[in-house]
Amino acid sequence: MAKALANPVRQRILRELEILGEATSTVLAERLGVTTGGTSYNLRVLAEHGFVEEVLERAHGRERWWRLTRLDVRFPVLSGQSPEFRATIEQLNQLWLAEDLETFARFQEVRSRLGGWGDAMPYSRGSVRLTLEELAEFFEEYLALLKRYQRTPDETPDGARTVLTRFIAFPDPEEAT
């Protein structure tokens, strides 16, 4: 599953489906600048792992439509990972972080032209003192909050936009253990 996600083309497909809601491999190929064969193959790999699904009601002949699923992906903790799996997760984390930084830089470039959406950047940088159990509970509550606001394209109210959210929490390496 992690190897399926650690592919840059598949990450771009997932991002495009997040933006578009639903798309064909042809639409995705045009947006990504890759072949339709490449997008079709990668969509099938993503579907095998439950990340995307076909939109059967939109299928016409050979034209297949795809959308994201809301799969809750959980990886084993670091101490429970094999060296190979750990390397894949590290590759995936680097891919995600690079994408996040690039996306944030693009937002900063266009922010002044977005009207009210340019002001819509809640930001919090802080710290809390937690036990391991409390941190796990904190994260589950955060995920529950996200799920409360996740909507399919047909459930999304007018005027809504995709808002990218990121959560990262880690022990302060400067604090003595």
Please give the domain boundaries of the chain with CATH numbers for all domains: 2-68 (1.10.10.10), 78-155 (no CATH)
Average confidence (pLDDT) over 100-109: 91
What value does the mean pLDDT of the chain take? 90
Bridge-based pairing state of the strands 65-68 and 52-54: antiparallel
Average confidence (pLDDT) over 6-35: 92
Q: Which residues pair with 60 in a beta bridge?
A: 63
Least Cα distance to 162 among 18, 47, 61 occurs for 18
Tell me what pLDDT residue 134 has. Answer: 96
Tell me what pLDDT residue 62 has. Answer: 81
The dihedral region occupied by 144, where left means phi > 0, alpha psi between -120 and 50, and beta the remainder, is: alpha
Extract the tokens encoding 48: 């095998």
Tell me what pLDDT residue 143 has. Answer: 93
The SS3 assignment for 23 reads: strand
Q: What global pTM score does this model have? A: 0.73
Extract the tokens encoding 63: 């034209």
- Strand order of the β-sheet with 65-68 is 22-24, 65-68, 52-54
Tell me what pLDDT residue 170 has. Answer: 82
**Angle subtended at Cα 11 by Cα 48 and Cα 94, rounded to the nearest 5 degrees:** 120
Share of the chain above pLDDT 90, in %: 54
Distance CA 158, CA 166 (A): 24
What are the tens digits of pLDDT across the range 74-103? 888 888 999 999 999 998 899 889 989 998
Comparison of pLDDT for 174 and 55, the residue scoring more: 55
Tell me what pLDDT residue 176 has. Answer: 65
Comparison of pLDDT for 72 and 54, the residue scoring more: 54
Tell me what pLDDT residue 137 has. Answer: 96
What are the tens digits of pLDDT across the range 117-173? 999 888 888 999 999 999 999 999 999 999 899 887 778 899 998 888 988 888 888
Tell me what pLDDT residue 30 has. Answer: 96
